[in-house]
Amino acid sequence: MNMKLMSKVCVVLTLSIFTIIGAAGVAAAAKTIKLHHLNKDDPFDNPTGAMATVFKSLVEAGTNGSVMVQTFPNGQLGKDAEVLQQVKAGVIQSGIHSVGGFASGYPLIGVLDIPFAFPNISATYPVFDGSFGKKLSADIEKKTGMHVLGFGDSGGFFQMTNSKRPIQTPADMQGLKIRTMGLDTHKTIISSLGGQPAAIAWSEVYTALQTGVADGQMNPIPIIAFAKFDEVQGYLTLTGHLFAPYVWVMNQKFWDSLTPAEQEVVTWAAKSAIVAGRGMGRVIEASERGLPALSKRMKVNALSAEQKAQFQQMAMPKVKALIVEKFGSEGEDMLNAFLEAVKAAQ
């Protein structure tokens, strides 16, 4: 190899090395949000999939790559409550959590479990986006030390399924063994209506319904369809008795490390992502992956306003009393603020 050629090769190699070093420097400079959520990383499959996908796109584009988002779907990092502690400790930067998982770090989230509070699904949006959402966020931030990005849609209202009979009045609940989460508020709802609450791990619910360990369960329509409960349940009652939002939080230290411009992008990206998740929830409910499909195999009935009032009169006072007993004056204050916001949203 002659000297001229050798010189050119050296120049090219040197430039390549500096280019690689420069690219590595840019990559190293980028801040990364590791984002936990509970479902598939598919924007068309479930609300958190839509939220995570939209958030990632808007943040990375809006910050021109200074903030990157890495998603961890399907609870890859552990159980929801465990991952909440990872967010708090800064092991990961952000998580979209169920109320069941979030209650381990912020028990007062149970005030949202007032049964039959909302008249319709559209009333949930201004409640969590408005003054009550701000009040709840401030209290969460104060007590957990985590920054709140917002409250997402977990798939709509909870509905009731069972294998015995249609549920039209509280009397129809008598003796039914209904699976619930391990939350006292959820257990109280069932027991106040004459049913028998059974706290069963999610991974065991299908088998419990199949074998008769439990007669029924309660969940939003997309989850009922996704879990294929129509294979082991004959009756679906559209009770609309609970709305349990996702709680989206970020590690405070990481939030503080973002520039004001980056914080602005992350804030509006999260808001946009929550809207996308809500929309996907409604689409799934209405599509062949939701109520129309379930209706082919299950007998479906919707409670009228008058019927819901009967259920509400039995269940709401007992859950209110439980919240006040458990959380005292601060629980009563947050509960009243919640109910006032619901009333205003109507």
pLDDT tens track for 266-313? 999 999 999 999 999 999 999 999 999 999 999 999 999 999 999 999
Tokens 């959380």 correspond to 327
Characterise 123 by phi-psi region: left (phi > 0), alpha (psi -120 to 50), beta (else).
Answer: alpha
pLDDT-based confidence at residue 147 (cuts at 50, 70, 90): very high
pLDDT of residue 182: 84
**How do the domains of the chain map onto residue ranges?**
32-155+244-286, 158-243+298-345
Q: Range with the lowest mean pLDDT among 12-26, 139-153, 320-334?
A: 12-26
144 touches 105 (CB < 8 A)? yes
Which backbone phi and psi does 263 adopt, to 5 degrees? -60, -40
pLDDT of residue 29: 58
pLDDT of residue 15: 35
pLDDT tens track for 39-50? 999 999 999 999
pLDDT tens track for 13-32? 333 433 443 444 444 458 99
pLDDT-based confidence at residue 202 (cuts at 50, 70, 90): confident
pLDDT tens track for 214-261? 999 999 999 999 899 999 999 999 999 999 999 999 999 999 999 999
241-274 b/e with 16+ CB inside 10 Å = b?
bbbbbbbbbbbbebbeebeeebbebbeebbebbb
The reply to whether domains 32-155+244-286 and 158-243+298-345 share a CATH topology is: yes
Question: What homologous superfamily is domain 32-155+244-286 in, according to CATH?
Answer: Bacterial extracellular solute-binding protein, family 7 (3.40.190.170)
Q: What share of the chain is helix, strand, coil (3-state, %, to 5)?
A: 60, 15, 25
Instruction: Please give the residue that has the higher pLDDT: either 193 or 202.
Output: 193
| Residue 168 DSSP label | -
Helix axes 184-192, 305-345, angle to 10 degrees: 140
CA dist 23 and 1 (Å) reads 31
pLDDT-based confidence at residue 151 (cuts at 50, 70, 90): very high
Q: Is the dihedral of CA 6, 9, 15, 19 positive or negative?
A: negative
Find all residues with CB under 8 Å of 275, minimum gap 6, and list them: none
Domain range 158-243+298-345, its CATH number among 3.40.190.170, 3.30.70.141, 3.30.420.10, 3.20.20.70: 3.40.190.170
pLDDT of residue 346: 86
Average pLDDT over the chain reads 92
115-140 b/e with 16+ CB inside 10 Å = b?
bbbbeebebbbbbbbeebbeebbebb
